[in-house]
Amino acid sequence: MTRDVFKEQIVKKEPTMKNGFIKGGVIFLIVLIFFLIIPYTGEFTVIIVAALGFGAYLLFGLLNVEYEYIFTNGELDIDCIYSKSRRKRQFSGVVRDFEIMAHVEDKNYVNEFNSAIETKNYSSGKTKDNTYAFLTVYKSKKTKIIIEPDEVMVQAFSTVITPRKFHKKQ
């Protein structure tokens, strides 16, 4: 009888400077529109500004991102969670099929990682000791995927991926 292996982990994406510019720009546009429409809309100004504010609230929610890693019996699924409510699957694959997995800054695998056609970053955005990259074929393209697994998740990966393909950071 085999035991099912199930591990999950949430990684919060750190806000970037780009997010700050987007938020600042949206607020600036709302204030600008408010002052431009006051002479023309009269009593509808409040409704229009409330609608713009609600739209900004929804947009800001899309900038609040978390990634959930779900490891089940050798398969890794990565979901993106927006504003702690909306979820979208970003990746699904078999860990055994990874070509290589190593720390994202491991100089021994720069050429392999650079050979990827696409790069997807599902980490917090900051390089840490547990920031790993793996190469796999995803949607018919050689893809480098960056993740931040905790020690429990790394241990789960090491049970299914061969040691010659998986290089833990020392």
Instruction: Give 4-50 pLDDT, tens digit per residue.
Output: 778 999 999 998 888 889 889 988 988 888 888 777 776 777 788 78
pLDDT of residue 1: 46
* 86-94: strand order across its sheet: 6-12, 65-72, 75-82, 86-94
Identify residue 126 by its one-letter amino acid code. Answer: K
- Residue numbers of the chain with a pLDDT score lower than 70: 1-3, 42, 169-170
Instruction: Tell me which H or E stretch contains 27.
Output: helix 17-41
> Can you tell me the distance from the alpha carbon of 70 to that of 103, in angstroms, rounded to the nearest whole number?
20
Tell me if the pTM is above 0.75.
yes
Instruction: Give me the DSSP letters along 30-48.
Output: HHHHHHHHHHHHGGGHHHH
Tokens of 164: 């010659």
Say if CB 166 and CB 158 are below 8 A apart. yes
pLDDT at 2: 54
Beta bridge partners, 103, equal: 132
What's the burial of 6, exposed, middle or buried (CB within 10 Å: 0-12/13-18/19+)? exposed
Helix and strand element counts for the chain (H, E): 4, 9
